[in-house]
A and B are shown apart, each in its own frame.
Chain A
Amino acid sequence: MCDLIQQAFNRRQALHSAACGFGYLALAGMAQGATSSGAAATSPLAPKPPMIPPKAKRVIFLFMAGGVSQVDSFDYKPEVDQHDGQMRDFNDARNVARTGKGAQSRLMKSLWKFSQHGNSGKWCSELFPEMNRHVDDLCFVHSMHTEGVAHGPATLFLHTGSTNQIRPSMGSWVTYGLGTENNNLPGFVSLVPSMGNGGPRNYGNAFLPSVFQGTAVGRAGIPAKDAEIRYIANDRRDDDEQRRQFDLVQALNREQIKDAKNESDLDAVIQSYELAFRMQQHAPEVFDLDKESPETLAMYGIGEKETDNYGRQCLMARRMAEAGVRYIQVNYSDNSNNPAWDQHSNMPKHGTHAKAVDKPVAALLTDLKQRGLLEDTLVWWGGEFGRNPFAEKNGTGRDHDPNGFTVWLAGGGTKRGFSYGETDEFGHRATENKVHMHDLHATILHLLGLDHLKLTFRHAGRNFRLTDVAGNVVHDLIA
């Protein structure tokens, strides 16, 4: 069987020098979507030139599922404190959606004290003490607003630009537009995603070719240390046995396409095995944190009870960014219908969640910066919506606020130590320089070198895009 192994080796070498994607060389699926040339396509995941000069090459999205309260974190509103306990008329989003009108609600002050930070003198609460050290690198958007009052619709909107329709997720659009830089790894990874609130649709390719599907690594509820690409490892067979099995399949395959020289779809099967085998050897390294120094692990809070899980995810994100993964989503989530940050009643729990993410996120920023990666990596931190400045049902928690909330961006060509947009005096609704989620999507695509109006895909007879028929690039956020 020596000659067979030799053949496999030659092919492997040839592939190594070729620019190709996550095992996707010639794809029947792709050919169907593209023009019907009938010829084997080059990899749809091969890097593509941006449409406009890019500021960022990749995205790390730190998803705070459930919705962080802006008035308890970064949107400082002394009026909430001053008028604590007073009843006011608010256009509460849930009430408006259900009844068409708002209701009287009781303003509720923050449990966390605000003070100024950094050279920019940014007012932040003590909820995220570690992140606060980085305010001079952050670009805050305080005037976010979005669609959907409940988690499902709003989470889908955040990821796909639609509350209900079946649309590709943002990471799929980005890899569709730019391809990926590492052919041993997927171009779009979602770390330990939730199965709730849209589940796989939040990293799904919808009608885009399946090569642009996000790869889930682990899933919510499983510790990050156990997260890996599915079936990347075989714990029943040692390396030698795996190699022999691989060679056996390929020997049969080659025999079977001997007489089919022009059949690119059959050749693609052989190539998919080659790439799978290569991935199997290289991809696990990216997720292996053992090679990191004790100082680095400590900086991310790995080994500490509260921060171990998210710390691992953030460090994996950095390693993936280094390895050239295009779109990395780091989920702070669970499988609940009322995920993580969803404090309808128990505001102090915000503190628990903050503790879990604060140090890891700060470490990620430090790490990216010291490695020069923050220059071309866009970090996006935020949830699907914010929380109301007033008490839900006059109780002790805060309901969802899709009409005004805060996200921050860092690196990737965004302004540093900058705050944009405003909410009203209580932090409830965006008023000045409003930024819709569609606008944020358009802006992120723009930073990556993609024109959101031109990044389209033809499906069911018309062109679709991430921003539907809306979205404006917010140039003021760009350095």
Chain B
Amino acid sequence: MRSLRVITYSWLAVVGWLVGTGAAADNDPMAFFEAKIRPVLAEKCYSCHSADSKTLRGGLLVDTRDGLLHGGDSGPAVIPKNPDESLLLQALKYDGFEMPPTGKLSEETIANFERWIALGAPDPRIGKAAEKRTIDIAAGKNFWSFRPIAHPEPPTVQNAAWSAGAIDRFVLAGLEAKGLSPAPDADRTTWLRRVTFDLIGLPPTLAEIDDFLADRSPHASERVVDRLLASAHFGERWGRHWLDVARFAESSGGGRSLVFDNAWRYRDYVIDSFNRDKPFDQFIVEQLAGDLLPHKTPAELETNLVATGYLILGAINYEEQDKQMLEMDVADEQLDAIGKGLLGMTIGCARCHDHKFDPIPTSDYYALAGIMRSTKVITHENVSHWVERPLPMEPERAAAVEQYDAQVAAIEGKLKAAKALFEKLTPKGSMPAGPLAVDSLQGIVVDDIQAKRVGAWRESTSNTSYIGSGYLTDDGEGKGTKTATFQPEFKKAGMYDVRVAYAPHANRDAAVPVSILHADGEFSGTIDERDTPPIDDRFVSLGRFRFDETNQWFVLISNEGTTGHVTIDAVQFLPVDAMEPAKEQKPELAKVDDASAKTAIKAKREMQSLQKEMKALQAKAPPRPKAMAVEEAEKIEDCPLCIRGNVHHPGPAVPRGVLQVATTGEAPTMPSDHSGRLELARWIASPENPLTARVYANRVWHHLFGVGLVRTVDNFGTTGELPSHPELVDCLAARLIDSGWSTKRLVREVVLSRAYRMSVADNATARAVDPDNRLLWRMNRKRLDAEELRDAILMVSGQMEWGCGGPVSNTRGNSEKPESSTEYGHVFTDVRRSIYTPAFRNRVMELFEAFDFADPNSVAGRRNTSTVAPQALFLLNSPFVMDQAQLAAERALAEAELTDGQRVECAFRETLGRKPSAREKKVALAAVKLDSDASAEARADRWERLFQALFGCIDFRYLE
């Protein structure tokens, strides 16, 4: 207080004219405000915190007294007479908030504010605090997508002959209302190519085309559809659609991209679910809460666990150092995926403030976040990690594992006995004592004199067993001031065993801190230097770490926090693949009598043979399958509302719950002993939820018609687009629910409609009325997506490997740098269907990149369909396309009995699903034409070019 007075009086000396001579702050606090506080507020704060601010920050106004007292999002800014509790003062002191952001005010100015608040914060500025907008949930429920799903009757139409069912009547009624009529039916080959790609993602084969054209029965189309729905390829196509929504990827992306070795299990689960036509509501519950479901068999448990991988697959920066923020980021990512993917809601907008457009208050966001935060998905270290859970094993596999464990235990027991015997016969010190040259050791050895030393280390040779030139000791002094950093130069990337040599003694410290910076993160541990080092009496191993030639790596040993003496002799980096137990140094046994020596040698030999046996056994260890799967957190708790989304500014806790606006009837009650995920899952998967069935039915429509009835397929909120046919959306949603949430039945009904059969034919009148074809006066032309393009090429070239499922994502075996734990060097070689191609976040197959593969970083219910020059470059110049064209040409030429004309027809039918037009045929024949004496090679080259041109042409790329 004394210093404050001094400041106040010195200030008075300067600006005394303003407040009148001799008027102390205590006497005229208002004048003090005018002189010392208002100018600072105006100059430093008003630009962001006044009625005139372009954008008001933090909901805080400081240009009125009410504004300050009422405060912003973080609560009152000023509590009169209580400077310590006033956020404004804390912010000025850069304690928590840092205001003004451009730089801290002078100590004097801050003291003035403290004084002013202590005086009761007198302030003549009248005016209101910022108005807080409140969300009217009940009113919000009037929006179309939040209303209960209706069961609308199909309208009556004029052209009843055209409409095959309810879908057609809704579509036709829309057209007739505008005086439009539907396009004529597509021809049969066009329809077949369309429905085959749409249902299984592949072109029809020649035999399938022939069969269909030959089948003149009225049920021919149904037969095709039922065949396609029953195909195992159906799940590969429709599973992929879901993987886009589930932002599926096989690496974490984010900053340091980590490979998800077990993500393929989730992918296979999704494919299998679609092939089985698993009810979509069950599919939802499994993914959100499979771990909480009962199960009858181990297989069922496995399915349930693998399904929850959905919650973990997101793009996450696992190396984020602020772990509290990281946890909130993970929850946010999950809510984003659930919101957009299942509910068509951009929930994430409510993380920092009430949703500006949709009736989602911030409290709803944190109600949901509490459920996610009560779920364990991440474990923390420098670079954190997602949770993996062991999978149940079939009896045979479990038995194999049990047997393996028993064998390991048996060898370990024998090893221990042999070691004990050996040690008994060759007491400590009998290992080769004395100095050991650095170059007599394997791997990379950094001696203590090569280490970068900080602080007063002393070089010692008192303990005569040292490596290189003596060892360092801190003499038990200068604790916390000494470090030694060992920087190896790696010529080859790979895994290394890191071993530290020290000079043991009873007076040494029991926990010498060591940290290692390695290519996968950071390791911290301690060494007990009291005991003789376990490896050759010299070294202790800290574990195996990956290093590469960038050589940013180090081992740092410190005497921080130690009490005993700390010694450091050397650090050895032993390449793991070069570690041979047999190469261990031979014991020196001359001093021991003969009988014992023989026994000791025998014991040593046994040890070596046991170690060999162990290695062989370990090489054949039975797999212990693990899955990315969640579990309930140790602590179930509500999440505090983070003010302005800042995890370090927690507000009151919000009881766990669901979105109010999408709740009809009673909201689910959240259990106190569980996260509430199961309740959330059932609330989403409920027929009562107005969003779920609508969003999913619209996705199905989107995939079949190329455009959704709601075009913003991931956004059913007020900022999304309105449905073109709201009643049809409800009709489809209701049918989905009534059919027991069967995807296949919904797909079947849509593709057998007359609307789906329409051609893409243009119609000038209709185009003028409805240029975007919202009313569906014709079928939309659809571009094949990246997978369809690649799969079709592989089918035509005959290279497709029809395997199903399983891991291929293991980059270690398929990388330019096999030692790498990242996807960066992955080489894409497999020729299975594209859904099995590893989907890495930081390394996407080039064809996928060029043709708008779904961005795996967020929910992508609708892919881009760009038409860009890099696609043309890819089709003209990529080795992949040229190779496949060559293989296709070889196949075509192998049919020796065909004429070139017939061969051209086959080529067109295989690639485009139709015969060439007369002119196309002319162009193609001209392209392959050669003199009769041309070489076979020249001939193959011509046919290669024709196939490449077919892969590149418009009709290959588009579905009509």
Contacts and interface: CB of A to CB of B under 8 A. Distances in A.
A binds B: yes
Interface of A: 1, 4, 22-30, 32, 36-39, 87, 93-94, 97-98, 104, 106, 148-153, 155-156, 163-164, 166, 195-201, 206, 209-211, 215, 229-234, 236, 242, 244-246, 248-249, 251-253, 255-257, 260-263, 265-266, 268-270, 272-273, 275-277, 279-280, 334-339, 342-346, 391, 393-397, 430-434, 436, 453, 460-462, 469
B783 interface: yes
A98 B321 contact: yes
A280 B873 contact: yes
A313 to B, nearest CB: 19
Contacts of A153: 255, 317, 319-320
A345 B855 contact: no
A232 B554 contact: no
Contact of A434 (B103, B254, B872, B879): B103
Contact of B876 (A1, A246, A430): A246
| Nearest 3 A/B pairs, CB to CB | A152-B255, A23-B869, A461-B719
A394 B560 contact: yes
Contact of A394 (B317, B480, B762, B878): B480
Contact of B864 (A94, A210, A252): A210
B255 A150 contact: yes
B871 A272 contact: yes
A29 B852 contact: yes
Contacts of B870: 23, 215, 230-231, 276
A255 B257 CA distance: 46
B96 to A, nearest CB: 11
Contacts of A272: 867-869, 871-872
B454 interface: yes
A195 B816 CA distance: 14
A280 to B, nearest CB: 7
Contacts of B882: 236
A346 B487 contact: yes
A24 B485 contact: no
A277 B482 CA distance: 64
B54 A453 contact: yes
B134 to A, nearest CB: 20
Contact of B873 (A201, A257, A279, A469): A279
B594 to A, nearest CB: 51
Contacts of A248: 923, 927, 945-946, 949
B877 A196 contact: no
B868 A256 contact: no
A22 B867 contact: no
Given A196-B257, A338-B517, A152 B319 contact: yes
Contacts of B864: 29, 32, 209-210
Given A152-B319, A201-B857, A164 B919 contact: no
Contacts of B521: 337
B321 A94 contact: yes
A460 B841 CA distance: 21
B125 interface: no
Contacts of B548: 336
B954 A462 contact: no
A276 B873 contact: yes
B717 A461 contact: yes
B552 interface: yes
Interface in B903-948: 917, 919-920, 923-924, 926-927, 945-946, 948
B23 interface: no
Contacts of A431: 103-104
Contacts of B953: 249, 252-253, 256
Interface of B: 54-55, 57, 101-104, 253-257, 315-317, 319-323, 329, 340, 346, 349, 356-358, 452, 454-455, 480-483, 485, 487, 515, 517, 519-521, 548, 550-554, 556, 558, 560, 712, 714-715, 717-720, 762, 767, 771-772, 781, 783, 822-824, 841-844, 846, 852, 855, 857-858, 862, 864-879, 882, 917, 919-920, 923-924, 926-927, 945-946, 948-950, 952-955, 957-958
A460 B715 contact: yes
A255 B320 CA distance: 55
Contacts of A4: 923
A475 to B, nearest CB: 12
Nearest to B881: A231
A249 B823 CA distance: 35
A149 B322 contact: yes
Contacts of A163: 317, 320
A206 B857 CA distance: 9
Which of A106, A164, A211, A256 counts the most chain B CB atoms within 10 A?
Answer: A164
B329 A164 contact: yes
Nearest to B718: A461
Which of B357, B452, B714, B823 counts the most chain A CB atoms within 10 A?
Answer: B452
Contacts of B719: 460-462
Contacts of A263: 762, 781
Nearest to B715: A461
Contacts of B54: 453
A24 B872 CA distance: 11
Contacts of A149: 321-322
Given A197-B256, A336-B550, A98 B323 contact: yes
A24 B322 CA distance: 42
Nearest to A215: B870
A260 B778 CA distance: 14
Nearest to A346: B487
Contacts of B357: 461-462
Contacts of A197: 255-256
Contact of B483 (A196, A261, A344, A393): A393
Contacts of A166: 315, 855, 857-858
Contacts of A32: 862, 864-865
A275 to B, nearest CB: 5
A256 B919 CA distance: 10
Contacts of A151: 255-256, 319
B923 A252 contact: yes
Contacts of A106: 454, 481
B954 A253 contact: yes
B550 A152 contact: no
B872 A23 contact: yes
B771 A38 contact: yes
B945 A394 contact: no
A279 B871 CA distance: 13
A414 to B, nearest CB: 19
Nearest to A276: B872
A386 B771 CA distance: 54
A31 B454 CA distance: 63
Contacts of B877: 231-234, 280
9 contacts: A152-B317, A195-B842, A210-B852, A231-B874, A252-B954, A269-B867, A273-B876, A337-B319, A394-B483
A471 B482 CA distance: 43
A436 B550 contact: no
Which of B560, B715, B877, B954 counts the most chain A CB atoms within 10 A?
Answer: B954
Contacts of B349: 461-462
Contacts of B878: 231
Contact of A393 (B319, B329, B558, B954): B558
A258 B57 CA distance: 58
Which of B346, B548, B824, B869 counts the most chain A CB atoms within 10 A?
Answer: B869
B552 A342 contact: yes
Given A199-B843, A266-B958, A397-B554, A245 B483 contact: no
A448 B127 CA distance: 40
Contacts of A206: 855, 857
B822 A97 contact: no
B487 A345 contact: yes
A32 B875 CA distance: 25
A242 B876 contact: yes
